[in-house]
Amino acid sequence: MACTHAPIPLEFRDTAGSSCGALLPTGNAVDMVEGVAGTLIDNGMPCIVLKAGRRRRHRLRGTREELDGHTELKAKIEAIRLAVGELMNLGDVAEKSVPKMMLWSLRPNDGGAVTCAASSPSAPTPALACWAR
């Protein structure tokens, strides 16, 4: 949005591994967790990045409320989140809001655009989080 105020520069330094000890806490670009390949990453916000499934019930389609209604998918995502707590040096994450779950997929018939959905332990989030400490 164009405004008439002075710019406010933001500089984030030393974010890699600030919560987990390393940008890639396991040292791997891809880890298999609960039979699913994903990237465990900490660049200021511990996250797990997973590619959404190809099966119709696991695609990223619909509203936030519709995604929240996919109980099987939510249970799988939560099982993965709980399993990676120790791998990411976060300990038991059952009562924590991290790591955040990020699911992405290519949007067919849309020129290669990418769709991304973020999920907290309780429900899909309305926006992508960009910072936490």
Tens digits of per-residue pLDDT, 29-76?
A: 999 999 999 999 999 889 999 987 755 444 555 666 766 777 787 888
Q: Which has the higher per-residue pLDDT, 52 or 133?
A: 52
Is the pLDDT at 106 greater than 80? The verdict is no
Q: What percent of the chain has pLDDT over 90?
A: 33
Give the pLDDT mean for 72-90: 91
Is the pLDDT at 131 greater than 50? The verdict is no
Q: Which has the higher per-residue pLDDT, 32 or 131?
A: 32
Q: Which residues contact 123 (CB under 8 A, 6 or more apart)?
A: 64, 68
In three-state secondary structure terms, 119 is strand
Q: For the chain, first and last CA: distance in Å?
A: 27
Report the pLDDT value the prediction gives residue 76, as an integer from 0 to 100: 87
Q: What is the pTM of this model?
A: 0.73
